[in-house]
Structures are given as structure tokens and as C-alpha cells.
Amino acid sequence: MYNCQNNKDIEIKSTEIVDLKDYAKFVDPMIGTAKMGHTYPGATVPFGSVQLSPDTDTIPYAINGRYNPDVYKYCAGYQYEDRTIVGFSHTHFSGTGHSDLGDFLIMPTTGNLKLNPGTAENPDNGYRSRFSHDSEQASPGYYSVHLDDYDIKAEMTATTRVGMHQYTFSKDEKAHVILDLMSGIYNYDDKNVWTFIRVENDTLVTGYRQTNGWARTRRVYFAMSFNKPIANYGRARYDKQPYNGFWGRFDQAHNFPEIAGEKIKMYFDFDIKNQEKLQIKFALSPVSSSGAVANMKKEVPNWNFEQVHENARMAWNKELNKIQLKSKDTEEKTNFYTAMYHAFLGPTEYMDVDSKYMGLDLNTHKAENFTNYTSFSLWDTYRALHPLFNILQPKRNSDMVSSMIVHQEQSVHSMLPIWSHYANENWCMIGYHSVSVIADAIVKGNTNFDAEAAFDACVQTARTRYFDGIGYYIDMGYVPEDKNGASVSKTLEYAYDDWAIAQAAKKLGKEFIYKEFIERSKNYKNVFDAKSGFMRPKLSDGTFKENFDPKDTHGQGFIEGNSWNYSLYVPHDPKDMIKMMGGNKRFTTHLDSLFTMELPDKYFEHTEDISREGIIGNYVHGNEPSHHVAYLYNWTDAPWKSQDKIRMILDQKYKTGADGLSGNDDFGQMSAWYIFSSLGFYPVAPGSVDYALGSPSITDATLNLDNGNTFEISTKNQSKKNVYVEKVELNGEILERPFITHEAIMSGGNLTFYMSDKPNLRQYQTE
């Protein structure tokens, strides 16, 4: 494996896949860069700390204190429709619906020095450059573009902690490299808190920047090295300087090596020859600039751009070959391997080569026997991404749990991460879904972490009364809408999380705690309104809220979803839910309607994460709460209805091209849904060992597992039309229920789907 792992306890029988194929060539990092995908096209390695990618605009989060809705487009810094590139920055979230980062924007220019980025309408006013997609190349670990305004070929590649730039100039000239330390993604009026820079010598620059954004107290340290000496350099300051003192004795603006302040931009000048390649190594560290220097020395000792690029691509191929598709359909392989690529972008490694990282307490810690990860978009990724990791990335998933455990230990709230990044909790979205990730790993036996500590952390988190209505939830069995908004979504998600804790308790033999949480897991029933047939917000006096519209996503007790969708959110107990909702027939009708009814725009137009592209009827695939919904027919008498829905979603909502994703990829959750579903199964309730079967879209796939086993998925009669499953065989035996277990997969074997263009109305009806 590419990234060195400290922990040797896990048994990895085969780390080398004999027949390594160049699946990287099918990956198109441009997919999702248009509209709402929020992916970035730049260079990174699997789970890499550095994401070196072009930013096509730097929109302020707020203008005069008022939220600027345009910022949402730029969660990943890049929008395909744009015609200019502002520069290349080193940190990007993939597919998120809120954002941060965009650290250390670099832009090479020629001609007059400009330190402002200029505008898309008038790029000549600033340092940004026009570009054309014709000149762009994006592939795993590599990005290239021609900067038209300067006639510079820009190329980038990366290791885990180092971004490498290569700029080829087209004539003899004076060139500038701009380091814009004020640029950032979701840049608040004054997101910058402090900046500190040292020009250590004529090729090395170090420093850090602290920002106050989505992460409140975030420091990123850097070391930047050039492959030729800086001719001249300087800085501009844009902040108020209350006191300059004896610093006034220096000309701090020109060739002065020690710079600090709130708002700073720098430039570095070089005398360049035609066709000369100016290279930059840019290393990051969570801990210190000396850490960044050490990361650079270890990971990129030489000035060999091609070697770094080759290593990055090899790292990707090793990960991509964990599933080998047999297919002649390039589009299928593009969709599939791009999904694999997006699924393996995060959480990202968050420690130096010496295992030091910044803890949530802002102290420096050392990761003992695990790799520390950050950027946990858990409201999204607990659903399918972490379950996918339990199959394909067991070591990493265990280390991610270890990272969550230390987070909880360092948390002054003693809470597991909600949505954490860069030694900060940003508290985004609802629930406490770390417990799902942990329970899923415990139940599936993928516990190369301290399971007792992890379990205790789950319980502690779920008992934090002051967090988001949990006190009410514990006392009353639901979150009352008049006390805490989005109360139904919270009640439902807490109930699922509690079930997950109960499953872990059962596995670990904690009977007392099992009882507490299995009881809590039934709380979903307390927000079901039998009269309307929907989950409905309840007030603290026990009555349901009036003026209820189950189609509306606004102010109805739900978050990023309406009651139509959220009413189906009982992933851990579909059987009882169906009973509660009126039994098989009434439930099936509800579900059928979801996919066919009309949802006028007005019901979701102010909900950022939902757009027309991601919707089928009233079913919202572009956002997460319904990701399990298409599989719910498996608990009715018509599993075949899951099959055509899943194939419809796979077909309609995942396409090639920049606008191929129908919603935020959400750090790989959308892609993980695709991977599972295209293979024919899905983890409806993480924390269960069962996967629900659907309808595969692939023809043949081999899962190369880290334990040395292979699990073969094949289809008979597969075609675009043959979306129905006639029968399924596991290791030659016909399956009598629409589920397979985790163990069946991990033990190796083969799963054969017999496809048909007609539903098998009696399939799986033995139960």
C-alpha cells in the first residue's frame, strides 16, 4: 500500500494484486465539477492530506455580513462553467455541501505584478488567467492546464503531504509566483486570523496561516521550496497594523525574510528562460513548519516531477484494483472507477511523517499505532462509504475509528466527531453518526482499534444532554419541535444511531447498555402521526404541530428533506416501520408514489443541498436521507420494485461528463452508493451484517480483499434492459432472501445474478 501504516497488527495476506491494471485511465476527475457535484479536478493521492487543485473563483462567504448564496457553487473551489483560473491551492474538500480550506493559493504570472485576483468578468484586472477546457488534463494524481494569459503550462501532482507544481514558460521573461495568503474557500469577511512567513533561504519559504471559518481555530503550517533561487520577493499587507514598533527600521515589503500579519500576500520573482520548468514543492503540516519541512524531505526528496506523478498514479491504481471490472463499456468503467476515486479521497490523513498531529484540544499529539485521519463528513459517509471501507479499506477504516476515539478523548465535551476537520469540530448537520461507523466496524469484526474505548465513546456521546435536543429526546422519547428545530429528523437519526449502539453492545456483551439503547432506538415511533401517515413534528405538550405539509423541506421539522422522504428513515427496523405505516400494501403504494409524484420547485428551492437534478418524482437522490429508500421494497412483497428503481437511479443520476453527478458527492457517499448499487447490494442499516440485494449494473467484478480473498460478482443476461433479477446464487446456492452477509463477502466466493427484462414476482418470497 502506498501510505505507510504504523500498525502492523492487522493481517493483510496480500498487499499486491498480481494483475494490476491501469484503471486510473478510466477515472475522470472532472466528473462532478459542474453544478452541484462539488468535486475538484486537481491532483491528490488516495486519502492524501494535500489536494492541489485549481480554484476558478474565490467568492466571499458573506458580503457586508450577509450570506452570499453564490459561495455554495465554490465548495471545492472549481466550477466547470468558469473561464478563468485564479490559482492553485492545496486543500479542498471533495463534494461537500458547506466548505472551508483553499489554503495557500499559488499563481504563476508574467508581466506587471498584480496581487489581486481580478474578476471573472475582467480577468485582466488581476492575476487570474483565462483557460480553456481543451488544454486541461485531469487524471488520478495529476492535473494540467494552459494559462492562456501568461502562456504557461501548469502541471501538478502530489504525495500524501506534498503538492508539486511544474510551470513551463514559453519565453525568456521575468516571472512571478504569487502566494495569496488571503485567498480561501468560503472566505468570510475576515476568515484570516494570523499569518506567519519566513523566507528561510533563496529557495525555501515556511510559515503558517490560522483561519476562523467553518473550522473555528484552524492552523495550517507549510514549507514551500523552489527548484531555482528566488531573484526577488516581497509582501503586501492589507490589514490594519495597530503597532509596527521597531519593525519600521526594515523595509518589510521587499526581500525581507520575516513576515507576519492578518492579511498578507506574497510574490516571488524568477528570471526564466523559454521552456524552463519552474517547480515548486509545497508541503503541509498540521503541527509545525518544521513538520512540513520534514514531510517534504521524506516524501519528495528530489526534483523529479515525473517520478512523483508516476508514484501517485501507482498509488491510485493499487486502490482502484481492489475492484476489477470486466467490461468493454468505457462509460461504465468511467463511472465506476471515478466513483472509486471519489470514494477514496477522504477522510484525509492528518499527521506528519513522524505521526504528530494537532489534537482537538490544540495540543500536539502523536498517533500511536494508527494513522490519524480528519475531515469526517459523517452525516453523509456513515451510510455507505464507511461500510464500503469495511470491505475494501479495513485497515484505514479501523484507523479512522482510532482517529475518532482520540477526537473523543480530546473533546472537552467527551463527544465523538459530528463533522470534524483539521482539529476542529464544526458541528455540521445532525445525529451522532460516528456511532454508526464504530458499531458497523465492531459488528463486522473489523476492530483493529480499542473496541472498548470506542464503545464507551459512543455511549458517552449519545448521553450528552446539552447537545442538540438529546436531553429532551432522552426524557420525552422525541425532540420537541418547539424546543429544538428539525426535531423529526433528529429524533429519527438518533433512534437509528441508538440502534447501532445497541448492536455494538450486543456484540461486546454489554447487556445493560444494549437494553438502554435498543429501547431508545424505538423512539422513531413517537414522531409518527398515524392520522396523516407521516412522521410529523411533535411539540413539547405532546401534540403534533399544525399546518403540516409533508412535501415541504422548509420549517416542517426536517432538515434537508421533507416528510415524504424522511418518513422512511427507519433503516434499522423497516419491518416495524412498514407495519406502523399501514402494512405492506399501503407502504408499497407510499413508496411507489414517492418515485412518481411531482414535487414543485417551491418545496425545496431554498434548500441548498437539493436541486432538480437529483430528484426522481419526490425521491431525492442528490442528498443523503433517502439513500436507503430504493432498497426498502426488499421488506415488502415486491423486491423487484427495488431493482428497477436502483437501475433507474444508477442510469439517471450518475453520468460521465463534468455535470455527471446529480448532487454533492459528499466526500464519497454518493459514489459509495454507486459502487454498492452497481455491484448489486447495499448496506441499508450500517451496524447490521446484512446487505440488501438490488440489481447490479456491472457485468463482472472481482473484489480483491486485503485478507487475500477474492469475491467475484458476475451476471448472466446482463443488459441495460435486463434490470430485474431472476435469481441470485451465492457460491452456487440460490439465495432465498434478498440479503447477503458481510462474512459471505469477506470469506471470498462468488455471487451470480441472473438478469431478466421481466420482474420475478415471486423471488425471495420464502420468508
* 135 part of the interface to its own copies, by CB under 8 A: no
Question: Does 303 engage in binding with its own copies (CB under 8 A)?
Answer: no
Q: Which helix (H) or strand (E) holds 142?
A: strand 142-147
Shortest Å, Cβ 421 to its own copies? 12
**Which of 240, 762 has the CB closer to its own copies?**
240
Binding mask 447-466 for its own copies (x = CB under 8 A): -------------------x
- 607 binding its own copies? (CB under 8 A): no
Q: Which is nearer to its own copies, 31 or 351 (CB)?
A: 351
Binding-residue total with its own copies (CB under 8 A): 53
Please identify, using beta-carbon distances, which residue of 357 and 534 lies nearer to its own copies. Answer: 357
Interface mask toward its own copies for 163-202; x: CB under 8 A: -------------------------xxxx-xx-x-xxx--
Distance of alpha carbon 441 from alpha carbon 451, whole angstroms? 9
Least separation in angstroms between residue 202's CB and its own copies is: 12
Q: Are 347 and 373 spatial neighbours (Cβ–Cβ below 8 Å)?
A: yes
Q: Rounded to the nearest 10 degrees, how much is the dihedral formed by the CA atoms of 589, 593, 596, 601?
A: 180
Question: CA gyration radius for the chain?
Answer: 26
Task: Answer for the pair 108, 166: CB distance below 8 angstroms, yes or no.
Answer: no
Q: Closest CB to its own copies among 479 and 505?
A: 479
Tell me if 512 contacts its own copies by CB under 8 A.
no
- CA–CA–CA angle 486, 488, 489 (5° rounding): 70
CA 602 – CA 107 distance, rounded (Å):
41
Give the span between the Cα atoms of 286 and 474, in whole angstroms: 37
- Closer to its own copies by CB, 390 or 426: give it: 426
The answer to whether residue 238 forms part of the interface with its own copies (CB under 8 A) is no
Chain-centre distance for alpha carbon 759: 35
Q: How far is the CB of 686 from its own copies (least distance, A)?
A: 23
φ/ψ of 43, rounded to 5, equals -95, 130
Q: How far is it, in rounded angstroms, from Cα 541 to Cα 306?
A: 67
- Residue 214 interacts with its own copies (CB under 8 A)? yes
Is 337 within 8 Å of 320 (Cβ atoms)?
yes
Site residues for its own copies, 77-116, by CB under 8 A, read 98
Among 104, 150, 169, 208, binds its own copies (CB under 8 A): 208
213 in contact with its own copies (CB under 8 A): yes
CB of 538 to its own copies, least distance (A): 19
Distance CA 495, CA 521 (A): 4
Asked whether position 61 contacts its own copies by CB under 8 A, the answer is: yes
Residue 347, preceding bond cis, omega within 30 degrees?
yes
Supply the minimum distance, in Å, between the C-beta of residue 281 and its own copies: 19
Q: Does 583 bind its own copies (CB under 8 A)?
A: no
* Under rule CB under 8 A, residue 70 binds its own copies: no
668 lines the binding site for its own copies (CB under 8 A): no
Nearest Cα to 220, choosing from 355, 374, 104, 55?
104
Query: What's the distance, CA 247 to chain centroid?
Result: 44
412 interacts with its own copies by CB under 8 A: yes
Which region, judged by CB under 8 A, interacts with its own copies, from 101-109, 284-292, 398-406, 729-737?
284-292
Cell readout for 123 is: 480577468
Instruction: Name residues contacting its own copies, limited to 239-268 (CB under 8 A).
Output: 240, 242-243, 245-247, 249-250, 256-258, 260, 262
Query: Can you point out the beta strands (E) in 151-263?
Result: 152-158, 162-168, 173-180, 192-199, 204-211, 218-226, 232-237, 258-261
Nearer to its own copies, 64 or 543 (CB): 64
Q: Is the alpha carbon torsion for 722, 724, 725, 726 positive or negative?
A: negative
Cα(236)–Cα(597) distance, integer angstroms: 57
Contact call for residue 289 and its own copies (CB under 8 A): yes
Task: Name the minimum Å distance from CB 450 to its own copies.
Answer: 21
Q: How far is the CB of 161 from its own copies (least distance, A)?
A: 17
User: 492487522: which residue's cell?
Assistant: 10
As a whole number of angstroms, the distance between CA 356 and CA 352 comes to 5
Stretch that binds its own copies, among 358-366, 396-404, 536-544, 696-704 (CB under 8 A): 358-366
Task: Tell me which stretch binds its own copies (CB under 8 A): 58-66, 229-237, 573-581, 599-607.
Answer: 58-66
In angstroms, what is the minimal distance from the CB of 307 to its own copies? Answer: 29
Q: How many residues does the chain have?
A: 767
In sequence order, what are the residues at sequence separation of 6 or more whose Cβ sits closer than 8 angstroms to the Cβ of residue 586? Answer: 533
Q: Does 65 bind its own copies (CB under 8 A)?
A: yes
Shortest CB 486 distance to its own copies, Å:
10
363 makes contact with its own copies (CB under 8 A):
yes
Question: Which residues sit opposite 538 in a β-bridge?
Answer: 544
Q: Which of 468, 498, 516, 560 binds its own copies (CB under 8 A)?
A: 468
221 forms beta bridges with 208, 285
Please say which residue, 492 or 581, places its beta carbon nearer to its own copies: 492
DSSP 438-479: HHHHHHTT---S-HHHHHHHHHHHHT-TTSTTHHHHHHHSS-
Query: What's the min distance (Å) between Cβ of 189 and its own copies?
Result: 5
Closer residue to its own copies, CB minimum distance, 238 or 247: 247
Q: Where in 316-359 does DSSP place strands (E)?
A: 323-326, 348-349, 356-358
When asked if residue 428 is in the footprint of its own copies (CB under 8 A), the reply is: yes
The least CB distance from residue 236 to its own copies, in Å, is: 17
Distance CA 159, CA 173 (A): 30
63 near its own copies, judged by CB under 8 A:
no
Binding residues vs its own copies (CB under 8 A): 61-62, 65, 98, 188-191, 193-194, 196, 198-200, 206, 208, 210, 212-214, 216-217, 240, 242-243, 245-247, 249-250, 256-258, 260, 262, 288-290, 361-364, 412-413, 418-419, 426-429, 466-468
